[in-house]
Structure 1
């Protein structure tokens, strides 16, 4: 039961993040992309930039500061490398972004969150 609730909240957070990205001029290319290295929540494009986006939703705003860590970012980066060829064409750049969400908080978009 608890796992199902977390899954629903995660999907809701991803939908909110996708709406927010669209409002900021991004085009969402894909959602919940599964790879052998892990899952990518959103793939979005704006201009010549493709972002592989990790979305984190927390019940409280104070928990957002600890919602993402280097290990999780490394998994998203590895997943992006595995499927980047599907979304990134010649001359385009790619990066890993994070969007943090909590009730009553404005979405926090961390651009280029992964820098090995």
Structure 2
């Protein structure tokens, strides 16, 4: 029988947050890999702006894609996890990113989604936001 130290109430919350953080980073890595296989070059992962965070920014030809990544057990849960407020936040953050990255201002813009559902291949939805 092994001995384990008691877990403080706040510690369980931190452990859960760390686990979600690791899972989120892993999901973004998988999504970035799937975009690379589609011919995209990744410009940024977890790009932070004062207006919000963009999971992935990718470019292919003259198209810049601002990509939201959602990992859930079902497609329905993944779709439900994207709110109107979140869509608006991503668009505002993208506009700020474009203002800071002049080179991409004249590109076609895409607001895409990558869903990671169970053990399946990532589902890519161009202009899903």
How does the TM-score come out when normalised to structure 1?
Answer: 0.88
* Higher-RCO chain (CA-CA 8 Å, sequence separation at least 6): 1
Question: Counterpart of 2:78?
Answer: 64
Distance of 2:22 and 2:55 partners within structure 1: 14
Question: Counterpart of 1:15?
Answer: 29
Question: Counterpart of 1:108?
Answer: 123
How does the TM-score come out when normalised to structure 2?
Answer: 0.80
* Cα 1:88–1:40 shift into 2, 3 Å: farther
Of the three residues 81, 94, 111, the one matched with 1:80 is 94
Secondary structure of the 2:113 match is strand
**What is the count of residue pairs matched by the alignment?**
113
Structure 1: gaps (5+ residues):
none
Note the C-alpha offset of 1:87: 6.3
**Alignment deviations for residues 51-103 of structure 1 (CA, whole Å, 9 cap, x no partner):** 01111111x12422312121111111110011113165353111211111122
* Cα 1:87–1:51 shift into 2, 3 Å: farther
Larger Rg: 2
Give the RMSD, CA atoms, in angstroms. 1.6
